Amino acid sequence: MKLQRKNRLRALSLGAVAVSGALALTACGSDDTGKKDDAGKSTASASAGSIKCDDAKGQLLADGSSAQKNAIDAWVKQFSQACGVQINYKGSGSGAGVTAFTQGQVAFAGSDSALKPEEVTASKQVCKDGQGIDLPMVGGPIALGYNVPGVDNLVLDSQTIAKIFDSKIKNWNDAAIKKLNPDAKLPDLKIQAFHRSEDSGTTDNFTKYLIATSPNDWKYSGGKAWQAKGGQAASGSAGVAQGVKQNSGAIGYFELSYAKDMTSVAIKTGASTPVKPSVESATADIAAAKVIGTGKDMALQLDYATKADNAYPITLVTYEILCDKGNKADTLPATKAFLRYIASEDGQKVLSENDYAPIPADIIAKVRTTIDGLS
């Protein structure tokens, strides 16, 4: 009996050691899930620790650009971990976001297009003694992802792109595409061009590129709503990307962060070589942007017709839109703290890690000053 009791105690002791070891391994494993900095620390922890929460508390409701949704999600994870504030960013599209803002439904909105004069006027109804302003926060290329079997390096120019999305070029072995890709084995395959179904700043920027570079082939006025006939419609950048992935012969436009696991078009711009979408090539284009907003508004003018080497022409800048004065008192501290974080050096580094382009240093410095003065 004594021997049996001794064996049972020994088994319990070993079991405790095993559990303790498992817990230790689990704890070690959790430290290894994130990226490490040069000192061996998790970059996620280091980033969260540098966030200034100030008086941030409660919940924030926001809506708008689906282009920046992946960036917002990464930022929210860090900010919520540091400050305990819940942020619900819907990502319903730029049009929906601006409407929600001018109706006073959200603390801030995201839009890939700056506010129009009539939207600024509408914002004065919810911004007491102030108005809505545009703060550029996220940059990036609009990739043209495609699904054409056997074609890994597709080159297109703006005229051909315009004709594809206007249903004028309907097959992948069209003569115009062959001329640009003499070495490619282009299949006899119908083109399925996907566009956004809802009002979208990505659509606005994509069509601004076509208007600026191919006015003879793209005769639409542009804007957030898709105007060309034909094609396939899908909701959000994620929906367009999914449509391209699932359909042979498809092509669509969406931010680079949605173009993973597929190939993207290199654009012939007049530069020495065709330019592919990347953080670096988008940054080169955005760096040439001009601030055209007045007062605290920082709307930018992009160069869609660039011919500079390594500058990708189809870029966008997403603005965070809120009141310069008259923001709601209960959400202002959290809004300022969150915006201050995403405009910070640490916050902007998150963009490059998620296939977005940081805002140029001189512009983001002005954004930080504006955020500090919000009331």
The bridge status of strand 192-196 relative to strand 250-255 is parallel
Is the distance from CB of 326 to CB of 110 less than 8 angstroms?
A: no
pLDDT value of position 21: 35
Quick one: pLDDT at residue 210? 98
The answer to whether residues 154 and 113 touch, using CB atoms and an 8 Å cutoff, is: no
- Cα–Cα distances in angstroms (integers) from residue 360 to residues 58, 76, 281, 285, 348, in the given order: 32, 22, 13, 10, 10
Instruction: Supply the pLDDT for residue 15.
Output: 39
Which residue's structure tokens are 């954004």? 367
Q: How does pLDDT run along the chain (375 residues), one tens digit per residue?
A: 434 444 443 433 433 333 333 333 233 333 333 343 433 333 343 456 689 999 999 999 999 999 999 999 999 999 999 999 999 999 999 999 999 999 999 999 999 999 999 999 999 999 999 999 999 999 999 999 999 999 999 999 999 999 999 999 999 999 999 999 999 999 999 999 999 999 999 999 999 999 999 999 999 999 999 999 999 999 999 999 999 999 999 999 999 999 989 999 999 999 999 999 999 999 999 999 999 999 999 999 999 999 999 999 999 999 999 999 999 999 999 999 999 999 999 999 999 999 999 999 999 999 999 999 999
Letter for the amino acid at 330?
D
Q: Work out the number of other CB atoms within 10 angstroms of the CB of residue 183.
A: 5
So what's the architecture of 141-284 in CATH? 3-Layer(aba) Sandwich (3.40)
pLDDT for 26: 32
Cα 309-310-314 angle, rounded to 5 deg:
110
Q: What is the pLDDT of residue 27?
A: 32
Under CATH, what is the fold of the domain 51-138+318-372? D-Maltodextrin-Binding Protein; domain 2 (3.40.190)
Tokens found for residue 13: 């002791």
Listed in order, the ranges of the chain carrying CATH 3.40.190.10 are 51-138+318-372, 141-284
**Contact predicate 146/262, CB 8 Å:** yes
Determine contact, residues 145/254, Cβ cutoff 8 Å: yes
Q: Which residue, among 63, 353, 93, 356, has the nearest Cα to 240 in the 3D structure?
A: 93
Length of the chain, in residues? 375
**205 touches 313 (CB < 8 A):** no
Give dist(CA 102, CA 250) in Å, integer: 36
Structure confidence at residue 50 (pLDDT): 82
Q: What is residue 49's predicted lDDT score, i.e. its pLDDT?
A: 62
Q: What are phi and psi of 60, to 5 degrees?
A: -125, 135
